[in-house]
A and B are shown apart, each in its own frame.
Chain A
């Protein structure tokens, strides 16, 4: 079952902030965040691991509530280059759990930044 993302779409002015949410029904090992521009491959933004470790961009932050299986991506002072579709992907096992599975992605959140 794929995670649920909200909102489905958001339109911002340059400089405004945005929050994108991702909710899963499974016990998770990690949550990944990717951004995809039209016709291109997804680009890695952030990973949040069970236990609190985070890896990602300087200008993008995220949170992971392990008890609620929810993650949020925070985009502050948005720039035109932030436009695209944001996907969260969840993973139920890491290497220590027997293997690193593929990701189950949400349907995406479309972000449009206007000048």
Chain B
């Protein structure tokens, strides 16, 4: 089955530690995205990548880093510089080259930092 996987579903970390969230897709999509969602809020764009080895900052990139070494993978690192890292993190992909702009979301990772 084609889709997007994110792991783990729940993640707990101590303050001051970096943590990397996994996102893998087997849809052969060129574009991938990371969003953050806080309770009662919409999704906010962290980073996105339109092609391998290239990525752009979104609206709230400070304290986060990404890499795009393979088409199917787009990991997000939440660094200790992110002041409020506790949130629901969602990865998405799309294939705009085909004219299909709809974004498919993974199940999300709920990160709690204490």
Contacts and interface: CB of A to CB of B under 8 A. Distances in A.
A55 B58 contact: no
B66 interface: no
> Which size class do B's interface residues fall under?
20 to 34
A30 B102 CA distance: 10
Interface residues of A, number: 26
A2 B42 contact: yes
B103 A44 contact: yes
Contacts of B75: none
A106 B42 contact: yes
B21 interface: no
Interface string B39-57: 0111111001010000010
A44 B95 CA distance: 14
A114 to B, nearest CB: 21
A70 B48 CA distance: 25
B101 interface: yes
A32 B103 contact: yes
Contacts of B41: 107-108
A111 interface: no
29 contacts: A32-B101, A32-B102, A40-B107, A41-B105, A41-B106, A41-B108, A42-B43, A43-B105, A44-B102, A44-B103, A47-B102, A55-B102, A87-B42, A89-B43, A94-B96, A95-B96, A95-B97, A100-B31, A100-B50, A100-B94, A100-B96, A101-B48, A101-B56, A102-B58, A103-B45, A104-B45, A105-B35, A107-B41, A108-B41
